[in-house]
Chains A and B, each alone.
Chain A
């Protein structure tokens, strides 16, 4: 009896989550939403989304990849430095880097506009949005790398490599990066997923010629017919769901790795 109750509650919760999504996706595939499914299914609206918003999709992918490159270059050495020098100041620094998580995206965007708004060339370039995304996603990369590196005795491993004649840069390439790989992978997937889905900050920073995927989504909801807006949701799902699945997989792998190598 208790089992049946459990299953019922779980199913109900799943339905609660899935039904709105499913309805929205179906709306994007029906000929006419107001006539319902009886009007038949079509890919026409998905096609229209492509024609209207392909630029947004490519811009989002471009920004996400550029954001990934920036967070890798900044975040991996930062995570390494924090792991290598644990202490009170490192904790303070870690919290400081994480500040953009606590501050609402809108506030962060306002700060960026106040600081760089007058630099016109930069203000209207896609790199302006990129800066916002890097600020927002960097803590995820740093923390992910830090977590994996903190689980192993990095100092002794590096001393081992040094005693065998490896200079500092070789130790970073041969020891630090390979042992941080699961963390880097998990961090990278988080960064890409967050960058593609980021709306708050981007909405403040974008210009009419630079609409990312979620900003385009808002635009389509506001100004297009319901079927197109729903089809847009479908496109968004198709892009983001595989990333989410990969993210789960990578973080599970990172945890397992930390478990096997720590003494």
Chain B
């Protein structure tokens, strides 16, 4: 099912403008992530699509061919996975998953068959009669997904689906969730503040900041061609490098390097993984700290910006704190924004 939002804004009764007028189009079976820091309006946008909030006047929400702007959540046929799951504590796992089908007044046999099917899909076999309070975090997350999916919604919405889990479990379930969403095949929109989650799960990512979508695109597009300093910073942790343009070069207080084209009035942003510790490099600095990351060392280098900036060292003898180093950057990897 396709979704399209036109001019959807949200102002709360206290005057807070949580979402500026926003357009968004999502294709059939597509998985889109709304990525941004807390307070950027991503959850508000999700709640507008769900029907848990109504947009300000002039906003329009279309689900397929139907205008659903004024339709309440119970009539929209959207499945929602809540951040804290919102499983009904007064019902068993099976009753939770069957609830949506029961509301659709499906025949008993159909409900039982569908619940079994969804439970198999979400690897919940054997937990049917378990009480909600007796489930682990990961199990709760899968029950919440199964419950949302069981009534075959037109659209699946997930609000920070992994944030209630501890770090180790989160990483394992991230790939599992990505696989499950593709197996289910429903159009899905999910909210997250974690860029690795968005990169791992989504077909396209909408990066949000201060109530608006800054850029929407595939994970690779966002990474390689960020449209704004915010996107560059949030996806891939790019930092601005102080200096000024001189033709095809960027001149800093600690050396100069080539850029892919004249920077003009734009600024140069670099990512830790493009800034390499290299004896042949054209920039110089002093090591402020070194952290071993498994595959490489992350080196904080002082002397270029007022604050130390992170760079990467791939080798076996990492530079020590206080040691002078030289840094190199590939002209293509210096972002001009």
Contact = CB atoms under 8 A, between A and B. Distances in A.
Nearest to B78: A163
Contacts of B148: 163-164
Contacts of B90: 175, 178-179, 181
B183 interface: no
A165 B88 contact: no
Contacts of A163: 50, 52, 73-74, 78-80, 148
Most buried by B among A160, A170, A178, A261: A160
Contacts of B168: none
Interface stretch (B98-106, B107-115, B201-209, B227-235): B98-106
Interface in B139-163: 147-148, 151
A17 to B, nearest CB: 39
Interface in A185-207: none
Contacts of A160: 80, 82, 86-88, 147
Interface residues of B, number: 25
A152 B84 contact: no
Nearest to B100: A164
A114 interface: no
Nearest to A170: B103
A164 B82 contact: no
A159 interface: yes
Interface in B144-201: 147-148, 151
Contact of B86 (A157, A165, A174): A157
Contact of A175 (B78, B88, B151): B88
Contacts of A223: none
A156 interface: yes
Contact of B147 (A156, A162, A164, A174): A164
B89 interface: yes
A9 to B, nearest CB: 41
A156 B86 contact: yes
B324 interface: no
A30 B13 CA distance: 72
A162 B47 CA distance: 13
Nearest to A166: B103
A160 B100 CA distance: 10
A179 B99 CA distance: 16
A161 B84 contact: no
A159 B88 contact: no
Contacts of A181: 90
A86 interface: no
B50 A166 contact: no
B99 A161 contact: yes
B84 A263 contact: yes
A261 B151 contact: no
Contacts of A167: 74
Given A159-B73, A164-B147, 10 more contacts: A153-B84, A159-B52, A160-B147, A161-B99, A163-B78, A164-B79, A165-B74, A175-B88, A178-B90, A263-B84
Interface of A: 152-153, 156-157, 159-167, 170, 174-175, 178-179, 181, 260-261, 263
21 contacts: A152-B89, A153-B86, A157-B86, A159-B82, A159-B86, A161-B88, A162-B52, A163-B73, A163-B79, A164-B79, A164-B100, A164-B103, A165-B77, A165-B151, A167-B74, A170-B103, A175-B88, A178-B90, A260-B89, A260-B133, A261-B89
